[in-house]
Amino acid sequence: MERHYDEPYYFAERHGGKKWTDREGKTHEFGYAGGGTWNYRNFYDKLVEILGKPGSVLDIGAGCGGWPAFTASQGVDSLGLEFSNFAIDNCVLGAKEILKHQDLAETPWNIDKQYDWVTAIDLFEHVFAEDMDKVVAETKRAANHFIIAKICTAQLNHEVWAAKKASYEKVLEQAHKEDYDWLIVSGHVNSQFPKYWEEKFEDSEWRLRPDLSTKLKRDLNLPDDWRTTLIVERQPPRSDLPKGDFTQEYYDKKYFADRAGKGYRMPDGSLRRWGYMNPDGVWDGCKPIVEAWKTMFSPATLLDAGCGRGQFVAAAREAGILAEGFDYSEYAIGEGRYLKCKPEWLKLHDATRPWPYPDRSFDLVVVLDALEHIYAEDVPKVLQELFRVARKWVFLQIAVSGSGGLQGSARTGYKLRKGEEVAVELEQYAVAGHLTVQNESWWTEMLWRDDFVPRRDLVEQFKGLVKPDVIANWTKNMIACYERVE
């Protein structure tokens, strides 16, 4: 269709516009004057009033470049993308340096950044229907904040028509055969009702702003052909944190393995990502830690409660310990399971429910980076089960407040409540599933048992047996060891 956009199309005042003949034999003419220039000043000022001044504007289907040339004259970083070589070669004054040839159906576009506004004035109706989804998607990719699209749309049933994508000659032949010459003369290969376009643009990330487009049209008293003017706004990024309770589903592939991780909001509204981002679950620290446990406790049996993907269970088995584990995450013990850990060594279980083991089942029970994932109201019953199934030894590693990183530097910590949405100022910590972040004194009090004594000497021994770089994060937090006494 590129050949359609020639001198009669853009400069009809010179020798007449594009001509077409209706079924009654009457000849009609269509074309723009002066390269399609219009009143940019009023349009720009009103947009700035309702949207704020942009730092950058990308105009797609820029024609002879009048609009991006004007925005550039206002100190805005501007670029125009245009399909027609004629339009670029005959651009308006001030547009030569900011126009770039681009077939918009060829994605991705040749741009190197996002723009505050992407504008499309009489563009989308010129795109073949089969290319529309990818062109709209690329428009969204290019836009940082707003899309402003003025589209010529059908108002009556007989005005709805979409040309089959083909050569220029074939499209003209189809239009003539189906009596749509009056659309093709203006380059409209996809004429649809407004609803069609609204559905193309609005999704979970982009929201139509009819309040803003109505104000624009009303305040400028725009003519009828501006009736479908869409202003679409990118929505603030959404975090992956649940709106209610942290359930099994939260601890999924994005949590453990995916390189993208989990999205969370910062207090300033920006979106960041966190996750273990470990595709295979390998961690070399498991072996030296298990060797330290063998030296300290000589366990024949071991339970890893909240075992994740089973790395410690596998390491303990390799060290000759009859180990097993359970976890809340179906992904962790299923699809995401560490390959050296056999599935029969693991169970899917919620730690807040009675544990599926008899009293004193295991010489050593370890709970590593798991207790902080329990709601505070459930901590007592989880600890009751933990100590119940331990025959002799309990070894704990707990993330505590004030240790930095995901726990923050505030000593006060926090307790999330069931059913309540996470406050934005806590998302950067709760993204890891840390529901109860308290200081070491709080945990020490919660852990007190008449039949178990804390063994701080063994904690120090452990630190001496394992290289500091392996357990650097553990030593910033809380390590505890308890021994059953009769």
CA dihedral sign of residues 170, 172, 173, 179? positive
Residue 236: band (very low, low, confident or very high) from pLDDT cuts 50, 70, 90 = confident
Residue 71: band (very low, low, confident or very high) from pLDDT cuts 50, 70, 90 = very high
What tokens appear for 200 in the block? 């193309």
Q: What mean pLDDT comes out for the span 438-445?
A: 96
CA dihedral sign of residues 405, 410, 415, 420? negative
Q: Diameter of the chain by CA atoms?
A: 108
Amino acid at 271: L
Least confident of 29-43, 334-348, 353-367, 391-405: 29-43
The answer to whether residue 257 scores a pLDDT higher than 80 is yes
The answer to whether residue 153 scores a pLDDT higher than 90 is yes
Which residue in the block uniquely carries the two structure tokens 């189906």? 178
Q: What mean pLDDT comes out for the span 298-308?
A: 98
Instruction: Look at 32 and 228; give whichever has higher pLDDT.
Output: 228
Q: What mean pLDDT comes out for the span 409-427?
A: 88
Distance CA 441, CA 424 (A): 27
Burial class of 474 by CB neighbour count within 10 A (0 to 12, 13 to 18, 19+): buried
- The SS3 call for residue 443 is helix
Q: What mean pLDDT comes out for the span 327-343?
A: 97
The answer to whether residue 411 scores a pLDDT higher than 90 is no
Distance CA 114, CA 429 (A): 30
Confidence (pLDDT) at 409: 66
Neighbouring CB atoms inside 10 A of 15's CB total 9
The answer to whether residue 379 scores a pLDDT higher than 70 is yes
Tens of pLDDT, residues 86-139: 999 999 989 999 999 999 999 999 999 999 999 999 999 999 999 999 999 999
Neighbouring CB atoms inside 10 A of 180's CB total 20
Going along the chain from its start, the domains and CATH numbers come out as 2-234 (3.40.50.150), 286-484 (3.40.50.150)
Q: What mean pLDDT comes out for the span 35-59?
A: 94
The answer to whether residue 29 scores a pLDDT higher than 90 is no
Q: What mean pLDDT comes out for the span 292-313?
A: 98
Cα dist. 72→64, 65, 95, 145 in Å? 14, 11, 9, 18
Percentage with pLDDT > 70 across the chain: 99
Residue 452 φ/ψ, nearest 5 degrees: -135, 140
Confidence (pLDDT) at 322: 98
